[in-house]
A and B are shown apart, each in its own frame.
Chain A
Amino acid sequence: GESVGLHLPTLSVQEGDNSIINCAYSNSASDYFIWYKQESGKGPQFIIDIRSNMDKRQGQRVTVLLNKTVKHLSLQIAATQPGDSAVYFCAENIAGFQKLVFGTGTRLLVSP
């Protein structure tokens, strides 16, 4: 497969563990955040989003936490499965702009 990121930080977990992937964002004016999953050879796939007026949002097996004080976002994946292996990255929307700013990503490796 292609190398989306040759030197991405990597998180290695065992199947069944909980995973936490972190993202530091840059702009205090950012008002909307999105987590994407990207598998090898595929496009980014939307996982979950959160607006800046929230601290936490839950989906199916995933939770996003937002700490605006330290400009930090995290994605928690419960009971991680081998199919969760991918590159995960966050995106921030800076209020008033039409565009998203994307992070470089973290590679999640899940071993059986």
Chain B
Amino acid sequence: NAGVTQTPKFQVLKTGQSMTLQCAQDMNHNSMYWYRQDPGMGLRLIYYSASEGTTDKGEVPNGYNVSRLNKREFSLRLESAAPSQTSVYFCASSNRQLILYQPQHFGDGTRLSIL
């Protein structure tokens, strides 16, 4: 049981380049989330998708876009990468839409450096 799978695990970009971070879950969860984690700060929500076909902004959405491709997959796109977007990105999923008090389950992250 893989859980939440993120690709790639590591990436180095130049300022202005674009890329898409991929996330897939095999737990049949309805809700999916993208977070960034920076030193000294808690996880911050970028975007989330409460259910297939819906997406909403989180705490720090600027500079990012998302696509909920289907129930399993939720991608995060950086259109024009900036050094401030250097971070570790985590995808998570949960069954919150069906059962209110459900924890989120996380992938192992994408370590992104922007030069």
Residue numbers in A under 8 Å from B58 (CB-CB): 99
Beta-carbon contacts under 8 Å, B96-110 to A: 96, 100-101, 103-109
List the one stretch of B13-21, B36-44, B66-74 in contact with chain A: B36-44
The minimal Cβ–Cβ distance linking B59 to chain A, given in whole angstroms, is: 8
- Residue from A31, A93, A98, A103 in contact with B42 in the complex, judged by beta carbons closer than 8 Å: A103
Tell me, yes or no, whether A88 is within 8 Å of chain B by CB. Answer: no
The minimal Cβ–Cβ distance linking A99 to chain B, given in whole angstroms, is: 6
Could you tell me if A6 and B39 are in contact, using CB atoms closer than 8 angstroms? yes
Residues 29-50 of B, flagged 1 when their CB comes within 8 A of A and 0 if not, give 0010000010111111100101
Tell me, yes or no, whether B81 is within 8 Å of chain A by CB. Answer: no
Interface band, chain B? 20 to 34
Could you tell me if B40 and A44 are in contact, using CB atoms closer than 8 angstroms? no
Question: How far is B104's CA from A53's CA once the two chains are assembled, in angstroms?
Answer: 20
The minimal Cβ–Cβ distance linking B77 to chain A, given in whole angstroms, is: 20
Overall SS of chain B's interface = loop
Residue numbers in A under 8 Å from B31 (CB-CB): 98
Residue numbers in B under 8 Å from A101 (CB-CB): 42
Question: How far is B86's CA from A64's CA once the two chains are assembled, in angstroms?
Answer: 34
Could you tell me if A98 and B105 are in contact, using CB atoms closer than 8 angstroms? no
Could you tell me if B107 and A43 are in contact, using CB atoms closer than 8 angstroms? yes
- Residue from A7, A41, A45, A46 in contact with B40 in the complex, judged by beta carbons closer than 8 Å: A7
B residues in contact (CB < 8 Å) with A: 4, 31, 37, 39-45, 48, 50, 56, 58-59, 88, 90, 96, 100-101, 103-109, 111
The 6 closest A-B pairs by CB, nearest first: A102-B42, A43-B106, A102-B43, A43-B108, A6-B39, A46-B103
